[in-house]
Structure formats: C-alpha cells, structure tokens
Amino acid sequence: MTVLRPPSEDEPAAVAAILSRYAPEPVTEERVRRTWSAPGVDVERDIRVVIEDGELIGFGAVDVEDVHTWIELHGTGLGELIDWAMPLARGRVYSGGWQRNEEVRDVLLQRGFVLVRHSYRMAIDLNGLKPEAQWPDGISVRGFRDGEGHAVYEVHMETFEDSWEHTRQPYEEWTHWSLERPGFHPELWLLATAEEEIAGIALCRVDDTDPQTGWVSILGVRRPWRRQGLGRALLLEAFRRLAALGCTRAVLGVDASSLTGANKLYENVGMKVISTFDFYELRV
C-alpha cells in the first residue's frame, strides 16, 4: 500500500538520500532541515513523502509564487505526487530534474509537461590556476561588512531581474539561505564598489560537505557597469579567494540560455559543464 503524508521529524536523512540520488553533489540532512524551516514553508501543506511498505521511497514539494508554481519530484511514486500537487498550483506550472533522472523525465512527459530549458552545473580546477583580475577604472573590491545585508540583497534582486522566470525573493527567505547559513564567510562575499556604491557582487561559500569545493553562489553586475569586464574580474577574484582557503575546485549553476550571457563568461574563463538540469512546463 502506498501512502502520501507530510514528513516526520526523523526523516530528513532518508529524504536527503533520495535527493542526492542524481544530484552532482550530495544533499545533506542539514540542508533538508533548513529547507523545511525556511520562511514561507509550511511542511504540512507544501511537502509530501511517499511511503510504501513502511519505506520512504519518494519526495515531493510545492512552491507557489505569484505567477508560477514549482513542483519538486524525487524517487518513486511520482504520479501520486503530481496528483497531490496540482490542486495547490497556480499560474504556470514547472517541474524538472537532473538529466540522468529518467523517472522524473518520463512521468513529466506522460503528464503533458514539455521540456523548455536547461541549467548547467559548471566547474573549474583551481590547482595551478593563477587568476589575475583586471578591474575597470574606478572600481575596487572588498568583503562584506556587518549591516550591509539589505544593500547586498537589493543588488542581488536587481541584477537577476533579467533571469528567466525571476521573482523577487522575500528578504527573510534570502537571509535564511545566505547570512544565516552555517559556514557563512563574510570575506567570501565580494563587493565591487564605485566609491561607496555597489556595482557588482560575487557571493561565495565553501561546500557543506567537501571543504575542497568552493561555490560561486551568486554573481551579479548592475546595468551601468556591465560590458566593462567587471563580471570576469569578480569571478577571477572569487577563484583566488576560494583557492586561498584551500579549495581545489570551484562550481556554480547557470541558465544555459542566460539572457546576460553568463554561461559564455564562465566558458571563457575555463569552466566546464559537469551536469545538466532540465526544466519542464505543463502544457494543457
């Protein structure tokens, strides 16, 4: 017998194992718990696990925004999870999975979803790399300072307005996933400034489970400072600082059809695609 229900407090480890099955990096139990405690998440309303013969075999979640809904699917029992999620959805409905995840692909195609976009996980080996950032005239770079959370948040939201299906993330949710996350290093939050004004940001971190892997989580340049090499300079400085902390590789995620050409920038500095995430939209 298959049962769908909200997860219990003792199930994050089992959920993390299912989420890690096709992911290019492991999902930790701490990340699962952090997701469930994020502002705006109601576990009883938004999350379901699939139980079969007492075993947790599937996981699903619904994230409803103003104009679209994201349905997250993992494991098995995916048809039942879609049936549960659809009455909660509004606006355009999206789902997806890592390209190797044939179970998700097959059930989405069967349910009328259409492949619409890709996202890349990209990486670069930092061993032997000696990045030298060339800063545009009038630009200097420094680390994050206490009290600058709102300013950095506004730059993040502004610089990602050109992103596909971008919605403005509430500040409390942004803080939960950035300033309040374990392992936050203010020196890895790079702010490129023109006098006192923030022109661009590179928000980096060390991986939760692998201290030799560094993440460039967010790279954004405001419109007045684009096409001047600032994004490249921030990226190279991020590599340098991650390497100084002992990281031997850097990774990031990027829209394969980035409207700002971010994927081409990453390719130009030597980053390679290591995994692809496929996005599907429900067409009815």
In a domain, 72, yes or no: yes
Mean of the per-residue pLDDT values of the chain? 95
Query: Is the pLDDT confidence value at 148 over 80?
Result: yes
Confidence of residue 132 (pLDDT cuts 50, 70, 90): confident
- State the pLDDT at residue 128: 87
Mean pLDDT computed over 185-189: 95
Tell me whether residue 282 is in a domain: no
Residue 257, domain member (yes or no): yes
What is the Cα–Cα distance from 9 to 36, expressed in whole angstroms?
10
Residue 172 lies in a domain: yes
Indicate the residue among 83, 111, 139 that finishes a domain: 111
User: What's the rounded mean pLDDT across residues 45-56?
Assistant: 96
103 shares its domain with 218 = no
The answer to whether residues 66 and 188 belong to one domain is no
Q: Is residue 128 part of a domain?
A: yes
**What is the pLDDT, as a whole number, of residue 284?**
67
Confidence of residue 162 (pLDDT cuts 50, 70, 90): confident
Residues 214 and 147: beta-carbon distance below 8 Å: no
pLDDT of 177 above 70: yes
Backbone angles phi, psi at 204, to 5 degrees: -120, 165
For residue 96, what are the domain limits?
A: 2-111
Report the alpha-carbon distance of residue 149 to residue 178 in Å, rounded: 9
- In a domain, residue 118? The reply is no
**Residue 165 included in any domain:** yes
Residue 129 pLDDT level (bands cut at 50, 70, 90): confident
Query: Distance (Å, rounded) from C-alpha 79 to C-alpha 83?
Result: 6
270 and 178 co-located in one domain? yes
Angle at the Cα of 187 from the Cα atoms of 130 and 275, rounded to 5 degrees = 60
Is the pLDDT at 36 greater than 80? The verdict is yes
Query: Could you say which of 111, 135, 151 is where a domain stops?
Result: 111
Cβ neighbours of residue 91 closer than 8 Å, sequence gap 6 or more: 64, 65, 66, 67, 68, 69
90 and 169 belong to one structural domain: no
Contact of 59 with 49, CB cutoff 8 Å? yes
* Domains contained in the chain, number: 2
Question: pTM for the whole thing?
Answer: 0.94
Q: In angstroms, what CA-CA distances link 102 with 98, 113, 177, 280?
A: 9, 14, 29, 13
Instruction: Give all strands (DSSP E) within 144-245, no chain letters.
Output: 189-194, 197-206, 213-221
Phi, psi at 13, each rounded to 5°: -65, -40
Q: What is the CATH number of the domain that holds 77?
A: 3.40.630.30
Q: What is the pLDDT of residue 1?
A: 80
Asked if residue 81 has pLDDT above 90, the reply is: yes
If asked whether residues 134 and 226 sit together in one domain, one would say yes
Are the C-beta atoms of 249 and 126 separated by less than 8 Å? yes
The mean pLDDT value for 133-151 works out to 96
Instruction: Give the bridge partners for 189, in sequence order.
Output: 203
Residues 228-255, mean pLDDT to the nearest whole number? 96
Residues forming beta bridges with residue 255, ordered by sequence position = 119
Asked whether residue 137 falls in the same domain as residue 225, the answer is yes
Pick the last residue of a domain from 51, 83, 111: 111
Q: Other C-beta atoms within 10 Å of 42: how many? A: 9
Does residue 83 sit in the same domain as residue 140? no
pLDDT at 262: 83
